[in-house]
Amino acid sequence: MVKMLVPYPENCTGCRFCEMACTMYHEGKVNHADARLQVHRRNVKVDFPSVCTHCVSCGEDCCVAHCPVDAIKHEDGKVFVDQEECTACGTCVEVCPFGVMRMEDKAFNCDLCDGDPTCVKFCPTKAIVYEEPKPGQYEKVKKLLEVEQ
């Protein structure tokens, strides 16, 4: 079975080390807006991570289905953006239920760091785990995110 990032909002302390580690690993800088996952810190009771689930959460492939130029592919359990074909229209960013399709010059998303996700390595409380997908955990995050809409 393919492994994915699984969020455990109940373990998240809101420290946001995962976001920093993400862009440090990929771009050698810190920028939370470019991190391929997001920590939401809403109030004293609620902080949680939202991760790219590579479209296993509901099986609908939102970004893949909605991309007007078919630049987003879903192959071997991985969702990725073909940088040649992407027109940076922003549709995928809008439709991603987890809010983790990012946009700079082109759209991009989590690449699981070639099988050794940096965010998981740095999370001190196991709020993000690299393991078999857990649909129930994705649903928890979706529900939390709905408040922000």
Partner 1 sequence: MKGYTGKILKVDLTAGKSHARAFDEKHARKYLGGQGFAVEIVFHGVPKGADPLGPDNVLAMAGGLFDGFPVPTGGKVAFAAKSPATNTLAESIMGGSIGPELKHAGYEALEVSGKSESPVYILIEDDKVEINDAADLWGKDTRVTPETLKKRHGWDVKVACIGVAGEKLSKIACIDCDDRQAGRAGLGAVMGSKNLKAIVIRGTKDLVPAEPEKLLEIALRYQKIYEAAPSFIEDTKYGTGEFLGWVNKEKGVFPTRNWQESVFKEREKIDPYYWAPRYVTKNKACFSCTKPCGKLFEVKSGKFAGVAIDGIEYETLYSLGGQCGNADVESVARANELCDLLGMDTISAGVTVGFAMELMQRGIITEKDVGFKLTFDNASDAVPRMIEMMGNRTGFGDVLADGVKVAAARIGKGSERYAIHTKGLEPPAYDVRGMKGHGLAYMTSTRGACHLRAGFYAPELVGKFWKWEGIDRFSPANKGFMVSQTENFMCVYDSVGLCKFSRGFFLIAKLPEVIEAITGMNYTEDELLKIGERIHNMKGAFNVREGVTRKDWLLPARILEEPIVDGPSKGSKISVDEMNMMLDDYMKARGWTPDGTPTPEKLRELDIA
State in angstroms the smallest separation of the CB of 19 from partner 1.
9
Helix (H, G, I), strand (E, B) or coil at 137: helix
Q: Who contacts 109 (Cβ-Cβ below 8 Å, separation ≥6)?
A: 36, 52, 63, 79, 80, 81, 100, 101, 102
Q: Of 31 and 77, which has the nearer Cβ to partner 1?
A: 31
- For residue 87, what are the contacts with CB-CB under 8 A and spacing of at least 6? 68, 69, 71
Contact 100, 19 (CB under 8 A): no
Least distance from C-beta 50 to partner 1, angstroms?
A: 11
CB of 77 to partner 1, least distance (A): 27
Which stretches of the chain bind partner 1, using CB under 8 A? 10-11, 13-17, 20-21, 24-25, 27-33, 40-45, 47, 118, 121-122, 124-125, 148
**Of 40 and 54, which CB lies nearer to partner 1 in the complex structure?**
40
By C-beta, is 60 or 104 nearer to partner 1?
Answer: 104
User: Shortest distance, CB of residue 29 to partner 1, whole angstroms?
Assistant: 4
For the CB of residue 76, give the shortest distance to partner 1 in the complex, in Å.
Answer: 28
In whole angstroms, what is the distance from residue 46 CA to residue 40 CA? 8
Smallest Cα–Cα separation from 95: which of 69, 73, 64? Answer: 64
CB-nearer residue toward partner 1: 10 or 85:
10
Q: Considering beta carbons, is residue 10 or 94 the nearer one to partner 1?
A: 10
Taking the CA atoms of the chain, what radius of gyration do you get in angstroms?
14
Helix (H, G, I), strand (E, B), or coil: what is residue 38? strand
